[in-house]
């Protein structure tokens, strides 16, 4: 029995090691090692590798300006300079070591809570960079308010605050209440009567975007109570939770406040509906959740765009504008394994002059590249632009193999021309201004673009304008358009006489045109024309046919509509701000409007202009990130006195290039004390680490009885004096390991490692005295304890518990490009190919092959796995098999073989017919998302996600055995066990994101016959 208890407990150990060792998982690549320097101001340490001195100082000035802006709201000061870590480009930022996990294109910046480090890239306009800087700075104040701003709050109180309040406050304080983009979302919700309650904002984050709705919430609250309400409301929610805080602050419960919030939003925006178009009068080329980045071919026959039609990924589609049918889907998974992502949120697609090719921006090895696709044949070619840190907004010349683009170099954003044939990169502009969204004039000699050129010292405060540059003379002309709002997305008519653009001078975002210095409005929508962000391309003009395609937000979805050139009509231009672009209630009705005043101020505070900055050497010192404990307790049981408790600490340097983690814990007696320490260096392409630990396991080893005199008879039992000795066996695993890992791409990596493990045992008997109640057959039914004896140590050798040591050297190739659902992978592949050599008393060669494939056939997934593990040429394998046999009976290999694995007796676990030196498994599953997100699951249910599965499992084990042959010799012979199979169904559930359990019903086939129905629960391994 001891053997099988060891087996069960040590499984958990191995599971933990596999999880921490990243058995599968996608990678965060390290293609560049940047040398950071530190520039210090009064309240910030700027970590950077920018050669541009003026830009470094500009970032610190703006940081100090935001500090004073937010300090007026939070009414607290930083005790020491706060770290601000800036990357030169978004591709560099996506490889940051400071933040764990993958960073997508849509992540603008991150503020982590332990050291309140702000981590962000530079953007293609100073206005975007400054907005993200101001947004993340709010999070610093939020964290520090919890930690230092009060005796009644701690960092953990942040978990009481709903996401919409945290992110929405950051948006409100960095953008204010006058925001036509967020107002557009609100009008759409009012139009379709889809206004959320406060409870909806808490629990339906996937439907009601926390950033936009949170901003609207704070604009509403401060409009009623003034900006002074922000600090007390935020802290009350942190301390008491949102329900009680609303009663304390607003003197009304959540439902009453929600009713007022919804009613006021509806009343405010409803009066703007008159004379406004509610839905597009033009033909829709694409509708649904997300259809963005439209690009019309020059002849107007085809539309290229990015869409979420596939649900699991954003792919490129080519549609026929006449038939409205999709004629080509370009799966972004087919761009190549070396491609980490592609730009589609704020970049654009562009067509070649011959209507055959489409160009877009991809990311590979921390650099942007230009990818040119044959729109119909599928051929592709990549172009690297090594002189640029990043680039975006490609625009193909109407006559030549030249692509205009916005390029970033050392933090400066200019226009460039890239010559496809020669590979030459030509700078068009070179100055401190941000120049983006280029669009060619039909003559090929002029480019229109968006710029922040103006007279202000603070370009981030300038309104975005549209300019035209002569490519020969480099003369730049600012077009005479609206000066009080930002302008976006210039496009040019086929004759070059008309410039189209997007603007919101009256609060509504529409298409405008400039012709002969006259401005006209071409659309009149109640909602508005927009992509995912205000900077997203949402308008495209066919350079020869003159047709237009635009993005319209309708019912929270991004539709694409076609406006033929012959149907273009002009509306009256309204330049007066109607208030439609302001968030309700419009203006602050009482209290002070500190936020708007701060955002409108274009001048630096005097103290900032006089401040000097100091260079400080970067020192990669370890500092405490996190310290946690599980509490301390003590108690007495039949196994004597004991205590339980533990503590864990995490340390890192400022850039998180080096991590050090340690944990110690005790659960029982002194010898049940354990601990682990772990070090990771992730600065370079080759990442490495070390770990060491002492891990004790306490296992129940059964009991023995000694009977004495009979005392009485009761209820059919005979009671007699006696002694029971219960045995506790302890297994101690001392570990030391090291590894080396090289991510080749996001999907593929190479691993090398060495692990040493020392296994030792101890055993003790714990006697107790009392009355034993036994049946007539001598079976023990009852034991009444009257006293305890002295603990007795048992000679472990007499139990066959001899310690041993193994050292493993391994190499592995790992691949993983899966897309996960809520419970298990939905599409893609995973594989692990590993070869090892084990040395020591137990020695063998190990080969591991684990290959998994997932095919998504909306809404089903067909999943397949082939698994082989072999211990080849083994020596003294018995010691290891006592702890970790190759055993086919686990339900994560084959369901239903061992119905007693988790309950009842253990006498079947590890049985020889299911164990061996080599094991092969094959699985096929048909998976249906049952509950979960409405886009994936059969039943929308946000609290518990689950998959329904039909499965077929099969497997076999075999070993090499010695057999006698003539002349007294032996030879090795392969001994195979019969193959086993299992058919059945399961429900795999994700419980609160922490645990996946799988109740199942199986019909196993073994011993050459089908067995009866078996039910069980697999709660250890997540869905493979």
Alpha carbons 852 and 833: distance in angstroms, whole number = 12
| Domain boundaries for CATH 3.40.30.160 within the chain | 41-149
Alpha carbons 906 and 1: distance in angstroms, whole number = 7
Which pLDDT score is estimated for 967?
56
pLDDT per 10-residue tile (average), the chain, 1024 residues: 36 36 82 90 95 93 95 93 96 92 90 94 96 97 88 86 97 96 97 96 92 97 94 95 95 95 96 90 92 96 93 90 92 72 89 96 89 90 94 94 96 97 96 96 96 88 96 96 95 96 96 94 96 95 96 95 92 84 87 87 80 87 86 70 84 94 89 93 93 91 89 91 91 95 92 95 92 90 91 86 92 93 91 95 94 93 96 88 84 79 36 85 95 86 89 92 54 71 93 82 86 83 61
- Taking CA 749 as the corner, what is the angle to CA 364 and CA 36, rounded to the nearest 5 degrees? 60
Cβ neighbours of 378 (radius 10 Å): 11
HSE-up (13 A, CA, CB side) for residue 412? 18
Question: Quick one: tokens of 1012?
Answer: 């009866």
Q: Give the right CATH number for 41-149 from 3.40.30.160, 3.30.1360.100, 3.20.20.70, 3.20.20.20.
A: 3.40.30.160
Which pLDDT score is estimated for 609?
74
Which residue, 782, 870, 853, 781, is CA-closest to 816?
A: 853
| Domain boundaries for CATH 2.40.160.50 within the chain | 818-1023
Q: Give the right CATH number for 818-1023 from 2.40.30.10, 2.60.40.10, 2.40.160.50, 3.90.420.10.
A: 2.40.160.50
Which residue, 23, 17, 140, is CA-closest to 85?
A: 140
Q: With helix as H, strand as E and coil as C, how does 412-477 read? A: EEEEEEEECCCCCEEECCCCCCCEEEEEECCCCCEEEEEECCCCCCCHHHCCCEEEEEECCCCCEE
Cβ neighbours of 958 (radius 10 Å): 16
Cβ neighbours of 362 (radius 10 Å): 20
Which pLDDT score is estimated for 974?
63
Is residue 198 classed as helix, strand or coil in its secondary structure? Answer: helix
Helix (H), strand (E) at residue 211: helix 210-225
Residue range 283-563, CATH number: 2.120.10.30
Alpha carbons 561 and 552: distance in angstroms, whole number = 7
Which pLDDT score is estimated for 667?
84
Which pLDDT score is estimated for 755?
95
HSE-up (13 A, CA, CB side) for residue 983? 5
Which pLDDT score is estimated for 37?
95
User: With contact defined as beta carbons under 8 Å apart, do 832 and 814 qualify?
Assistant: yes
- Evaluate the CA torsion angle 962, 964, 969, 973 in order and state its sign: negative
Please state whether the predicted TM-score (pTM) of the whole model is above 0.85: yes
Axis crossing angle, helix 126-148 with helix 53-74, rounded to the nearest 10: 40
Alpha carbons 975 and 962: distance in angstroms, whole number = 10
Is residue 170 classed as helix, strand or coil in its secondary structure? Answer: helix
Alpha carbons 438 and 318: distance in angstroms, whole number = 23
Contacts of 893 (CB under 8 A, 6+ apart): 867, 919, 921, 953, 955
CA-based max dimension of the chain:
116
Which residue, 458, 449, 503, 459, is CA-closest to 479?
A: 449
Judged on CB neighbours under 10 Å (0-12, 13-18, 19+), 796 is middle
């Amino acid at each position: 029995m001891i053997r099988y208890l060891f087996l069960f407990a040590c499984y958990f150990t191995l599971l933990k090691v596999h999880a921490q060792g990243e058995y599968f998982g996608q990678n965060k690549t390290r293609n560049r090692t940047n040398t950071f320097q530190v520039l210090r101001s009064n309240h910030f340490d700027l970590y950077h590798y920018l050669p541009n001195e003026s830009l470094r100082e500009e970032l610190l000035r703006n940081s100090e300006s935001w500090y004073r802006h937010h300090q007026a709201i939070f009414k607290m000061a930083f005790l020491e300079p706060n770290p601000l870590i800036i990357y030169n480009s978004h591709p560099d930022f996506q490889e940051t070591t400071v933040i764990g996990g993958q960073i997508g294109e849509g992540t603008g910046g991150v503020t982590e809570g332990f050291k309140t480090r702000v981590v962000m890239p530079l953007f293609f306009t100073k206005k975007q960079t400054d907005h993200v800087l101001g947004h993340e700075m709010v999070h610093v104040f939020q964290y520090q308010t919890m930690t230092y701003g009060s005796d009644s709050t701690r960092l953990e109180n942040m978990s009481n605050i709903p996401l919409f309040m945290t992110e929405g406050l950051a948006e409100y304080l960095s953008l204010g209440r006058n925001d036509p983009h967020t107002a557009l979302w609100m009008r759409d919700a009012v139009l379709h009567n889809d206004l959320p309650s406060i409870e909806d904002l808490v629990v339906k984050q996937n439907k009601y975007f926390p950033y936009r709705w949170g901003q609207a919430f704070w604009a509403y609250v401060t409009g009623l109570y003034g900006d002074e309400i922000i600090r007390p409301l935020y802290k009350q929610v942190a301390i008491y939770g949102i329900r009680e805080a609303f009663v304390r602050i607003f003197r009304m419960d959540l439902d009453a406040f929600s009713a007022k919030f919804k009613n006021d939003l509806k009343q405010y925006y409803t009066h703007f509906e008159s004379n406004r178009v509610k839905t597009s009068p033009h033909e829709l080329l694409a509708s649904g959740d997300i259809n963005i980045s439209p690009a019309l071919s020059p002849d107007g026959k085809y539309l290229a765009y990015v869409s979420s039609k596939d649900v699991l990924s954003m792919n490129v589609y080519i549609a026929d504008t006449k038939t409205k049918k999709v004629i080509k889907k370009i799966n972004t998974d087919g761009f190549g394994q070396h491609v980490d992502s592609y730009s589609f949120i704020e970049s654009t697609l562009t067509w070649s002059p011959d209507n055959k090719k489409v160009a877009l921006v991809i990311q590979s090895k921390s650099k942007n590249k230009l990818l040119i696709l044959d729109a119909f044949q599928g051929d592709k070619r990549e172009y690297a632009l090594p002189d640029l840190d990043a680039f975006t907004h490609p625009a193909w010349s109407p006559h030549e193999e030249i692509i205009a683009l916005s390029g970033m170099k050392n933090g400066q954003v200019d226009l460039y021309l890239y010559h496809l044939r020669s590979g030459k990169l030509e700078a068009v502009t070179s100055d401190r201004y941000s120049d983006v969204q280029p669009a060619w004039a039909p003559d090929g000699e002029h480019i229109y673009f968006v710029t922040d050129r103006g007279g202000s010292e603070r370009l981030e405060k300038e309104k975005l304008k549209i300019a035209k540059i002569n490519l020969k003379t480099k003369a730049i002309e600012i077009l005479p358009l609206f000066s009080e709002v930002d302008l976006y997305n210039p496009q040019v008519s086929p004759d070059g006489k008309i410039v189209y653009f997007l603007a919101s001078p009256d609060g509504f975002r529409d298409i405008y045109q400039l012709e002969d210095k006259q401005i006209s409005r071409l659309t009149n929508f109640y909602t508005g024309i927009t992509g995912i962000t205000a900077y997203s391309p949402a308008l495209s003009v066919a350079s020869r046919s003159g047709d237009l395609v635009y993005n319209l937000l309708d019912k929270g979805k991004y539709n694409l509509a076609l406006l033929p050139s012959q149907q273009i009509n002009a509306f009256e231009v309204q330049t007066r701000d109607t208030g439609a672009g302001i968030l309700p209630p419009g203006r602050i009705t009482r209290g002070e409007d500190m936020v708007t005043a701060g955002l409108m101020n274009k001048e630096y505070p005097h103290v900032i202009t006089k401040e000097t900055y100091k260079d400080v050497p970067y020192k990669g010192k370890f500092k405490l990130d996190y310290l946690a404990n599980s509490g301390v307790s003590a108690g007495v049981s039949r196994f004597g006195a004991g205590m339980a408790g533990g503590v864990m600490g995490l340390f890192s340097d400022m850039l998180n290039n080096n991590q050090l983690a340690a944990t110690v814990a005790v659960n029982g007696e002194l010898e049940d004390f354990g601990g682990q320490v772990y070090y990771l260096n992730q600065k370079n392409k080759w990442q490495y680490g070390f770990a060491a630990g002492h891990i004790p396991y306490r296992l129940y080893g059964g009991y023995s009885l000694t009977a004495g005199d009979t005392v009485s008879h009761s209820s059919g039992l005979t009671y007699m004096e006696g002694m029971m000795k219960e045995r506790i066996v302890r297994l101690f695993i001392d570990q030391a390991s090291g590894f080396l890992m090289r991510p080749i791409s996001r999907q593929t990596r190479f691993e090398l490692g060495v692990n040493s493990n020392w296994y030792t045992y101890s055993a003790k008997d714990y006697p107790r005295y009392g009355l034993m109640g036994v049946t007539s057959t001598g079976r023990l039914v009852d034991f009444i304890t009257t006293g305890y004896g002295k603990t007795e140590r048992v000679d472990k050798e007499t139990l066959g518990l001899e310690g041993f040591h193994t050292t493993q050297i391994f190499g592995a190739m790992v691949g993983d490009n899966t897309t996960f659902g809520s419970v298990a992978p939905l599409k893609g592949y995973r594989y692990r190919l590993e070869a090892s050599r084990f040395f020591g008393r137990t020695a063998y060669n190990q080969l591991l092959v684990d290959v998994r494939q997932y095919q998504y056939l909306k809404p089903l997934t067909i999943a397949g796995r082939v698994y082989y593990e072999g211990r080849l040429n083994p020596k003294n394998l018995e010691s290891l098999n006592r702890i970790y046999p190759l055993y086919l009976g686990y339900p994560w290999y084959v369901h239903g073989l061992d119905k007693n694995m988790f309950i009842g007796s253990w006498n079947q676990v590890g049985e020889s017919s299911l164990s061996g030196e080599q094991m092969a498994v094959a699985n096929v599953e048909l998976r249906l998302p049952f509950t979960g997100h409405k886009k994936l699951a059969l039943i929308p249910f946000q609290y518990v996600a689950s998959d329904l599965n039909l499965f077929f499992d099969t497997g076999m084990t075999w070993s090499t055995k010695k057999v006698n042959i003539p002349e007294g010799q032996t030879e090795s012979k392969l001994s195979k066990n019969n193959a086993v199979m299992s058919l059945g169904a399961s429900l795999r559930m994700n419980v609160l994101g922490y645990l996946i359990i799988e109740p199942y019903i199986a019909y196993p086939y073994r011993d050459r016959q089908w067995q009866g129905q078996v039910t069980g629960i697999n709660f250890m391994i997540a869905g493979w």
